Amino acid sequence: MTRLQVLDSPADLLPGEVIASLFYSDVRPLTGPSALLDWRLDGVLTEQIVGGMAHGTPGETMLFAANRKLAANWVLFYGGGSLARLTPLTLSGLIGSLLEVVHRAGFHRLAIALDCFDGMDIQEAEHAVWDFLDKDRFHDMEVVLACRGPRG
């Protein structure tokens, strides 16, 4: 079993039981993988944001059943807080809490679609995922990680 696989694929093509993407409180309209997944789900996250039901605060979770436009069965939009304040350390914390949420929900195959913003390197996210996969409670998880956009 490959515990972590890094792919250079768009969010809508990532395999897994659930695909997760961060969305931020200070990024409107949505961009990157969250925008692609939202578009594939006919704007369901945008509707939640416009209606005041979603904000992108750290740890906020919005889980939606996928449709035939996606490779995964479920989509989890996960609040990343302020993109302007995101650092490698806060990204690592977000990834850890995201893995915890997915694990508690009973999923074992997760795809994480990140937007590689300026200064962020896919290896930073990969190391953060490994730090958590090495913990005993995540022994049965498989993660596909993808990062699209400018490479740091």
Per-residue pLDDT tens for 60-100?
999 999 999 999 999 999 999 999 999 888 999 999 999 99
Does this model's pTM top 0.75? My answer is yes
Measured CA angle at 98 (ends 51, 63), to 5 deg: 40
Under the phi-then-psi rule, with left for phi > 0, alpha for psi from -120 to 50, and beta for the rest, what region is 142? beta
Q: Any idea of the CA torsion for 80, 37, 116, 86, to the nearest 10 degrees?
A: -10
State the pLDDT confidence band at 149, using cuts at 50, 70 and 90: low
∠ CA 21-7-99, nearest 5°, is 40
Fold assignment, 4-148: Leucine Aminopeptidase, subunit E; domain 1 (3.40.220)
Find the DSSP H helices in the chain.
32-40, 44-50, 88-104, 122-133
pLDDT band for 10, please (50, 70, 90 cuts). Answer: very high
Q: How many CB atoms lie within 10 A of CB 17?
A: 17
> 21 near 111, Cβ under 8 Å?
no
Q: State the Cα torsion 75-72-112-82 to the nearest 10°.
A: -20
Whether the pLDDT of residue 134 is over 60: the answer is yes
Question: What does the pLDDT look like over 109-122, one tens digit per residue?
Answer: 999 999 877 556 78
Q: What is the DSSP letter of 41?
A: T
